[in-house]
C-alpha cells in the first residue's frame, strides 16, 4: 500500500482524513500517539464512556493543548458518528454487544469503519461486512492487530502462487491456562496483584489473552476473512519456534500436526513442560506455504528459506506486531484507497462459550476472560449444529442447566433476551449464512 505521497498532497491541500475514535483505552491511546507525526490525519472526535479520561489519554501520549482543544470529546458514540466532519470510525471498545450497534450505525451513516473490536467481528462480522459492501463503505480489520497482519501474509502468499498450508500467530500457552481466572491471571504473567493494579491493568481483559479466548477469536476472524479452516475440535497450540513452523505446521500425513492443508492455528511459546520454546513467535504472526513445483522448492533452498525436511514447506513470519501504533494503515487504506486491511467474507469459524469448571444451574456467566467460561474455536458448521452460545453473548446471562467442566454451553442452556439488539443481529447473521456453511 503506497499512500504517503497522497497524504502529503492532502496536507498541502488542507484536506485531512478525519477520524472518529470510539474507546480511548490502550489500543486507542497507541493510535493517538501516532497522530501528531502523521500528515493529513486528524482526529475530529473521541467517544468514550469517560470523556475526561479520553482527554487525559491524549495528553499522556504527548498531544499539545491546542491539538486536544481541537477535538470534540463525548460519551455519545451514536451522535459522534452522525457528525459531518468524520470520514472513518475506529471501534475500539472491545465490547461485542455495543460494537455491533456501533458498526451498524457507522454503516448507516455512510462511514468507513475499522473494527479493532474482534469480539464483535466474530459475533456477527459476516453480516456487517456484507451490509457495508452493499452500502459502499469499507468494513475493515485493524492493521497492527494480529488478524489483519496474518491476512496480509495470506494474501501475499496466494498472490505469489503459493498454497497456504497454515496461518496464525504465536502466544504463551499451557493447557491449564483454560481454567485461569482474574484471581490467578497475574501469577502466569509474573506480576503481583498490586503491581498490576498500579499499572492500571484489567485482570479480566488480560485473562482473556491467557485462557485461550482471544486466540480463538482472532483465529475465527482470520478463518472468516480468508476461508482457512478452523481445527475440528479447537486450537491445538503446538509449541513451535520460528525455525520449526514449516515442520510442525504441515499435514499429519507429511509428519506435521495439522489435519490437512489450509488451516488456522496458534503456536505456543512454551513447551508443554513449561520450558521456553527456542526463537519463539509469542508476539508475531506467520504463514506456512508450500512450493507449487520443484523449481520453486529449489528456490526456497537457494535463497535461504527455512524448510521442512522435504524442502517443499516453508514459512514467512513477522516476529512482532505494534497494535495501535500501526492502525493508520487501516484508516488510510479505507479513506484513500477504499479498501480494507482484511475483512470478513464468510462464516467459517465461531467461538463457543465453554465451561471453565463445573457450573450449576442458576449461575450467571461472566463472559470473556472471567471466572466461568472460556472461548473455544470451532468450525461454524459445528457451532450451528450444536447450537453453541457465542462467547460474545455469554456475559450476564443465567444458566438454566448445569454444565460440566470443558463442555460447550448452548443457547438452550441459558435464559437470554431474544429481543436484545445484539442477539437479534447474531440470529440474523446465523440465518443469513447457515446455507453457505459447509
| Residues contacting residue 84 through CB under 8 Å, at least 6 positions apart | none
SS (H, E, C) 124-182: HHHHHHHHHHHHCCCEEECECEHHHHHHHHHHHHHHCCCEEEEEEEEECCCHHHHHCCC
Dihedrals phi, psi of 249, to nearest 5 degrees: -100, 60
Same domain, 239 and 330: no
Query: Please, how many CA atoms are within 13 Å of residue 364, restricted to the half-sphere of its CB?
Result: 4
DSSP state of 335: I
Residue 216 lies in a domain: yes
Q: What's the CATH code of the domain at 368?
A: 3.90.1210.10
Same domain, 154 and 289: yes
Of 337, 366, 398, the residue that ends a domain is: 337
CA 137 to CA 339: how far, in whole Å? Answer: 9
Same domain, 316 and 360: no
- Bridge partners for 218 per DSSP: none
Number of Cβ atoms within 10 Å of the Cβ of 255? 13
Same domain, 125 and 165: no
Same domain, 284 and 153: yes
Same domain, 392 and 250: no
User: pLDDT (tens digit, 0 to 9) for every residue of the chain, 438 residues total?
Assistant: 689 999 999 999 999 999 999 999 999 999 999 999 999 999 999 999 999 999 999 999 999 999 999 999 999 999 999 999 999 999 999 999 999 999 999 999 999 999 999 999 999 999 999 999 999 999 999 999 999 999 999 999 999 999 999 999 999 999 999 999 999 999 988 899 999 888 778 899 999 999 999 999 999 999 999 999 999 999 999 999 999 999 999 999 999 999 999 999 999 999 999 999 999 999 999 999 999 999 999 999 999 999 999 999 999 999 999 999 999 999 999 999 999 999 999 999 999 999 999 999 999 999 999 999 999 999 999 999 999 999 999 999 999 999 999 999 999 999 999 999 999 999 999 999 987 876
Same domain, 244 and 304: yes
Is residue 56 within 8 Å of residue 29, measured between CB atoms? no
Q: For the chain, how many structural domains are there in total? A: 3
- Domain of 117 in residue numbering reads as 4-144+324-337
How large is the C-alpha radius of gyration of the chain?
22
Which cell is 27 given?
489500543
Residue 64 lies in a domain: yes
Same domain, 309 and 386: no
DSSP state of 251: B
Beta strand 285-290 pairing with 72-74: unpaired
Beta strand 17-22 pairing with 88-91: parallel
Residue 197 lies in a domain: no
- Bridge partners for 264 per DSSP: 167
Residue 368 lies in a domain: yes
Of 303, 337, 371, the residue that ends a domain is: 337
Amino acid at each position: 500500500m503506497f499512500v504517503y505521497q497522497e497524504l502529503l498532497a492532502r496536507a498541502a491541500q488542507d484536506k485531512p482524513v478525519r477520524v472518529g475514535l470510539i474507546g480511548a483505552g490502550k489500543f486507542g491511546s497507541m493510535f493517538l500517539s501516532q497522530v501528531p507525526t502523521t500528515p493529513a490525519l486528524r482526529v475530529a472526535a473521541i467517544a468514550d464512556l469517560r470523556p475526561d479520561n479520553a482527554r487525559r489519554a491524549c495528553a499522556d501520549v504527548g498531544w499539545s493543548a491546542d491539538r486536544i482543544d481541537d477535538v470534540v470529546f463525548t460519551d455519545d458514540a451514536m451522535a459522534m458518528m452522525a457528525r459531518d466532519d468524520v470520514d472513518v470510525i475506529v471501534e475500539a471498545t472491545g465490547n461485542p454487544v455495543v460494537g455491533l450497534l456501533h458498526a451498524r450505525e457507522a454503516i448507516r451513516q455512510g462511514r468507513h469503519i475499522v473494527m479493532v473490536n474482534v469480539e464483535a467481528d466474530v459475533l456477527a462480522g459476516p453480516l456487517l461486512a456484507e451490509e457495508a459492501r452493499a452500502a459502499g463503505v469499507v468494513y475493515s480489520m485493524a492493521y497492527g492487530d494480529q488478524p489483519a497482519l496474518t491476512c496480509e501474509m495470506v494474501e501475499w502468499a496466494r498472490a505469489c502462487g503459493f498454497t497456504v498450508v497454515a496461518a496464525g500467530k504465536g502466544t504463551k500457552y499451557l493447557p491449564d491456562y483454560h481454567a485461569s481466572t482474574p484471581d490467578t491471571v497475574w501469577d502466569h504473567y509474573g506480576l503481583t496483584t498490586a503491581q498490576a493494579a498500579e499499572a492500571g491493568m484489567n485482570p479480566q481483559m488480560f485473562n482473556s489473552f491467557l485462557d485461550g479466548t482471544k486466540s480463538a477469536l482472532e483465529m475465527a476472524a482470520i478463518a472468516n476473512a480468508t476461508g482457512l479452516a478452523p481445527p475440528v475440535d479447537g486450537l491445538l497450540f503446538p509449541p513451535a519456534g520460528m525455525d520449526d513452523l514449516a515442520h510442525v505446521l504441515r499435514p499429519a500425513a507429511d509428519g506435521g500436526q495439522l489435519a490437512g492443508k489450509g488451516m488456522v492455528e496458534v503456536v505456543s511459546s512454551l513447551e508443554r513442560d513449561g520450558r521456553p520454546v527456542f526463537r519463539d513467535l509469542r508476539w508475531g504472526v506467520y504463514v506456512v506455504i508450500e512450493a507449487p513445483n520443484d523449481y520453486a522448492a529449489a528456490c526456497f533452498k537457494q535463497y535461504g528459506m527455512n524448510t521442512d525436511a522435504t524442502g517443499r514447506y516453508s514459512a514467512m513470519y513477522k516476529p512482532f506486531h505494534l497494535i495501535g501504533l500501526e492502525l493508520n494503515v487501516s484508516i488510510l487504506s479505507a479513506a484513500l484507497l477504499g479498501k480494507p486491511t482484511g475483512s470478513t467474507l464468510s462464516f467459517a469459524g465461531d467461538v463457543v462459550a465453554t465451561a471453565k469448571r463445573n457450573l450449576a444451574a442458576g449461575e450467571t456467566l461472566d463472559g470473556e476472560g472471567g471466572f466461568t467460561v472460556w472461548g473455544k474455536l470451532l468450525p461454524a458448521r459445528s457451532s450451528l449444529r450444536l447450537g453453541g452460545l457465542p462467547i460474545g453473548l455469554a456475559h450476564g446471562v443465567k444458566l438454566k442447566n448445569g454444565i460440566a467442566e470443558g463442555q460447550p454451553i448452548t443457547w438452550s442452556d441459558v435464559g437470554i433476551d431474544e429481543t436484545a439488539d445484539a442477539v437479534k443481529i447474531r440470529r440474523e447473521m446465523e440465518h443469513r449464512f447457515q446455507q453457505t456453511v459447509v
